[in-house]
Chain A
Amino acid sequence: MTEYPDETVGGFPTPPRTVTDAEGRTIEIRKAENSIEELVEMYLDFHAEDRAQGIPPTNESDIRQWLSVVTSDEELNVIAYHDRDPVGHVMLVSDEEGGYELAIFVLQEYQAAHIGTELLRTALGGAAEEGVERVWLSVERWNRPAVSLYKKIGFQETGDDHFEKMMKLRLD
């Protein structure tokens, strides 16, 4: 894998915070705490077209198994809530090589309302606060809206793509 960018990106807000989305909904963004059950509910509502590279899994026991791995103690999970229900989730999972892999999922009814952007920025703020320095992600290369969001936030394309585009960011 290629190196991370030299320049750092910072100035991200930290959780918890409350934002108003483009539809006027009040969205609370907090770190996850014992959140598997509420996240299972969210992922059961997830639409097939919003899956990416085989996740989230589709049946309840696979979702539960996957969540128990990605939300274990060493990882960082940040959730966007509307009316106390999770509507978006960012996970940062250690790659055991000093970096963290990031993924974000937002329920369809809450997409295109700026929640993803704020959730992502807040999760990166939370990660920086915990001393995370290197973050990477992979994205399907035809998923232009996602790629442009990641770029706007400061991720850089690394060029070592196959099916998915690889992007990396160094946190301040």
Chain B
Amino acid sequence: MRVLIGIEDSDRGMQALEAAAERAREAGDELTVAVYTVSDESLEETTAAVRDRIKTLDVDVEIIQIEEEPGSKLVEIAEREDFDQVVLSGGQRSPLGKIKLDSVHEFVLLNARTTVKLVR
């Protein structure tokens, strides 16, 4: 299965990556990681952090960067490149622990033609 993981630099993003990598090692999935930012972090720094984490995971991953409108770009890439699944992380948690889904989650869930997996 071809899996596209949308990831921002957060602990939960890394969790989503680890969950997908674990499945990929067992099932032989082909993983592509699309790095994006939701606030004003630098995309280069975020990508470097993701790259460092991937080195520890013992799995082959292609890394791409999404510079703007991550929601629509993820959907577009998934369609154009024939992915079977989009994986997103469960976003940030609020101070008292509520899951905060953002506009990227909303756009992808409502508009993707593939299965969307939320790791939380």
Q: How distant is A89 from chain B, measured CB to nearest CB, in Å?
A: 11
The answer to whether the Cβ of B103 comes within 8 Å of any Cβ in the partner chain is yes
The answer to whether the Cβ of B56 comes within 8 Å of any Cβ in the partner chain is no
Q: Are B96 and A70 in contact (CB under 8 A)?
A: yes
User: Interface size bucket, A side?
Assistant: 10 to 19
Which secondary structure dominates where chain B touches chain A?
A: loop
Query: Which residue of chain A is the closest to B98 with respect to CB atoms?
Result: A53
The answer to whether the Cβ of A52 comes within 8 Å of any Cβ in the partner chain is yes
Q: Are A162 and B106 in contact (CB under 8 A)?
A: yes
Q: Mark A83-119, 1 if CB is under 8 A from B, else 0.
A: 0000000010111100001010000000000000000
Residues of B contacting A93 in the complex (Cβ-Cβ under 8 angstroms) = 95-96
Query: Which residue of chain B is the closest to A75 with respect to CB atoms?
Result: B96
Q: Are A162 and B96 in contact (CB under 8 A)?
A: no
The answer to whether the Cβ of A81 comes within 8 Å of any Cβ in the partner chain is no
Q: How distant is B100 from chain A, measured CB to nearest CB, in Å?
A: 7
A138's partner among B90, B98, B120 (CB-CB below 8 A) is B98
Query: Which residue of chain A is the closest to B120 with respect to CB atoms?
Result: A54
Question: Complex formed: what's the CA distance from A90 to B20 in Å?
Answer: 37
Q: How distant is B47 from chain A, measured CB to nearest CB, in Å?
A: 25
B94's partner among A57, A66, A101, A162 (CB-CB below 8 A) is A101
Q: How distant is A75 from chain B, measured CB to nearest CB, in Å?
A: 8
Q: Are B120 and A55 in contact (CB under 8 A)?
A: no
Residues of A contacting B97 in the complex (Cβ-Cβ under 8 angstroms) = 54-55, 57, 66, 69-70
Q: Which 5 A-B pairs have the closest CB atoms?
A: A53-B98, A54-B99, A93-B96, A163-B101, A93-B95
In addition to A52-B98, A164-B101, 14 A-B residue pairs with Cβ atoms within 8 Å of each other are A53-B98, A54-B90, A54-B97, A54-B99, A54-B120, A55-B96, A69-B96, A69-B97, A96-B95, A103-B98, A162-B102, A162-B105, A163-B101, A163-B106
User: Can you give 6 contacting A-B residue pairs, CB < 8 Å?
Assistant: A54-B98, A66-B97, A101-B96, A103-B96, A162-B105, A163-B105
